[in-house]
Amino acid sequence: MNPLYEVYPLHIENSLTGEKELFSPVLEGRVGMYVCGPTVYSDVHLGNARTFTSFDLIFRYLMHLGYSVRYVRNITDVGHLENDADSGEDKIAKKARLEALEPMEIVQRYTVDFHKVMGQLGALPPSIEPTATGHIVEQITMTQAILDKDWAYESNGSVYFDVNAYNNDGGDYGVLSGRKMDELQAGSRALDGQDEKRNPADFALWKKASPAHIMRWPSPWGDGFPGWHLECSAMSTKYLGDEFDIHGGGMDLKFPHHECEIAQNKACTNHNGARYWMHANMLTLNGKRMSKSTGNTILPGELFSGTNDQLIKAFHPSVVRFFMMQAHYSSVLDFSNEALLAAEKGHNKLLAAWNILQQASAKGGQGFDVQAWKDKCYGAMSDNFNSPILIAHLFEAVKFVNASEGGLAITAGDLKELQQSYKTMVFEILALQGVESQSAHKDALDKAMDLIIELRAQARTNKDWSTADLIRDQLNDAGIQLKDGSEGTTYSL
């Protein structure tokens, strides 16, 4: 049998060309994918989690198509400075100083948190999860190779990539982001360390460590630490080869991070690194990008427990994942309680229909074209991983299933096919968490709670405060909290 990737050929929007292209991997049947991982100096917020969940969907679908995938996602545990222009303190060293801890205690704490959150969101672990501190030798070797080409220079114990020298020798800095050299040069800012650079567009490959800096390694240029961009070039090519298939990350990493990676890769290997560069779009909160630095964040854990003032209730991680899957990975997604409530409804409807479908019988007929439907589901996913369109097709099946009484009007063979494909799409690819009966219980609980909330509201209208309080207190004892808001009363467990 032909592999699914031949039946449903994949098209990917490539940020490098700005085009949607037929995916053609370096090695037939195999995919090497590198995704920039988190800088582990604080809890991952929901925005970070969205990017990693988007790539989990991509990872899952690639595997489902029959590719053998090596997915490398790093942990940044050194070198990411507070400012992208190579200035400010190392984020991890700063947190360690503020908390009087070892940097590796910070790294451990937030790596564990990251894994926990991604596990809750149903994300599979990557095949390799390398760290920047574990690849210092590789980064020094690359820095030396770029110096040997005269595309880098040493300045006061630091080494910078020489963007002009690279471009004058045929390099194409700006190829990914579309930025022009004159714009970059005009963007000069009087930041600390900038005077060491020949050109404001140059970027650090290696930074000299000040005497107080704890994270330091010996190098041919003195004690220091690697620049942030270099780790990803070093680790992606080490594990995936000079030319590999997919490089991903959040949209905000396109420039300067990925632009710099491409220049480093070109300098060392003559390849861009990946053939396909993919960028996941941002999660916004109140219309602004969710970002640690502005404090405009919600943590996944707060969402799962309902413990954030901006939330009207708790949401199950599977609902949160579904909320993310309802948007295309390349679209901006705005967080709101209303959107989460709508996602919860859709999510539960999808799972409730699965309960029916699982037990349904076929009464024969052609009430639903299962093969055409299946082709549309795969077609959506093979068209640049279009999960919202996939979900729309799943709801066509939900409609058919829910409308059928006394058996589905399809053949027994089609029923089997429908069950199998529905299950694959919902549980394997979208990876909603499949304790199907939970959602049926949840529906029943929602209905019972609506009734109790209504009875309490009536008691309050009748000024029967003792009954109203009794209801609230007894529910509290049972672990159910009521929350009165302008839109009415909601509950959380």
Residues 6+ apart with CB under 8 A from 389: 380, 383
Count of other CB atoms within 10 angstroms of residue 187: 11
Question: Whose Cβ is closer to ligand AMP: residue 227's or residue 249's?
Answer: 249
Tokens of 109: 């704490």
| Residue 282 binds to ligand AMP (criterion: CB under 6 A) | yes
Stretch 220-249 residues interacting with Zn ion (CB under 5 A): 232
For residues 248 and 34, is the Cβ–Cβ distance under 8 A?
A: yes
Question: Whose Cβ is closer to ligand AMP: residue 147's or residue 253's?
Answer: 253
Q: Residue ranges of the alpha helices (H) in 247-296?
A: 259-269
Which stretch of DSSP H or E encloses residue 7? Answer: helix 4-7
**390 φ/ψ sector (left φ>0, alpha ψ -120 to 50, else beta):** alpha
The residue behind tokens 């489902």 is: 64
Question: Whose Cβ is closer to ligand AMP: residue 78's or residue 147's?
Answer: 78
For residues 264 and 205, is the Cβ–Cβ distance under 8 A?
A: yes
| Residue 256 binds to ligand AMP (criterion: CB under 6 A) | no
CB of 282 to ligand AMP, least distance (A): 4
> Among ligand AMP, Zn ion, none, what binds residue 232 when CB lies within 5 to 8 Å by partner kind?
Zn ion
Tokens of 341: 């409530």
Question: Whose Cβ is closer to Zn ion: residue 86's or residue 196's?
Answer: 86
> Among Zn ion, ligand AMP, none, what binds residue 298 when CB lies within 5 to 8 Å by partner kind?
none
Q: Which stretch binds Zn ion (CB under 5 A): 30-38, 137-145, 180-188, 201-209?
A: 30-38
**What is the per-residue DSSP string for 55-67?**
HHHHHHHHHHTT-
Binding mask 364-403 for ligand AMP (x = CB under 6 A): ----------------------------------------
Rounded Cα–Cα distance for residues 444 and 447 (Å)? 5
> Among Zn ion, ligand AMP, none, what binds residue 10 when CB lies within 5 to 8 Å by partner kind?
none
| Residue 204 binds to Zn ion (criterion: CB under 5 A) | no
Regarding beta strands 81-83 and 87-90, do their DSSP bridges make them parallel or antiparallel, or are they unpaired? antiparallel
CB of 116 to ligand AMP, least distance (A): 16
Q: Is 153 helix (H, G, I), strand (E, B) or coil?
A: strand
Tokens of 288: 């602004």
Rounded Cα–Cα distance for residues 30 and 185 (Å)? 41
| Residue 73 binds to ligand AMP (criterion: CB under 6 A) | no
CB of 47 to ligand AMP, least distance (A): 3
Q: Which stretch binds ligand AMP (CB under 6 A): 140-148, 287-295, 374-382, 469-477?
A: 287-295
| Residue 227 binds to ligand AMP (criterion: CB under 6 A) | no
Give how many residues touch ligand AMP by CB under 6 A.
Answer: 16
Listed residue (486, 22, 48) closest to 297, CA to CA? 48
| Residue 272 binds to ligand AMP (criterion: CB under 6 A) | no
For residues 174 and 136, is the Cβ–Cβ distance under 8 A?
A: no
| Residue 47 binds to ligand AMP (criterion: CB under 6 A) | yes
Cis-peptide into 3, omega within 30 deg: no
Provide the CA 262 distance to its chain's centre, in angstroms: 21
Residue with nearest beta carbon to ligand AMP? 250
| Residue 121 binds to ligand AMP (criterion: CB under 6 A) | no
CB of 229 to Zn ion, least distance (A): 7
Q: Which stretch binds ligand AMP (CB under 6 A): 35-43, 131-139, 141-149, 364-372?
A: 35-43
**DSSP code of residue 281:** P
| The one among 16, 215, 283, 425 contacting ligand AMP by CB under 6 A | 283
| The one among 10, 31, 33, 36 contacting Zn ion by CB under 5 A | 36
Residues 6+ apart with CB under 8 A from 448: none
| Residue 74 binds to ligand AMP (criterion: CB under 6 A) | no
| Residue 249 binds to ligand AMP (criterion: CB under 6 A) | yes
Binding site for ligand AMP (CB under 6 A): 36, 38-39, 47-48, 50-51, 249-250, 252-253, 282-283, 289-291
Binding site for Zn ion (CB under 5 A): 36, 232
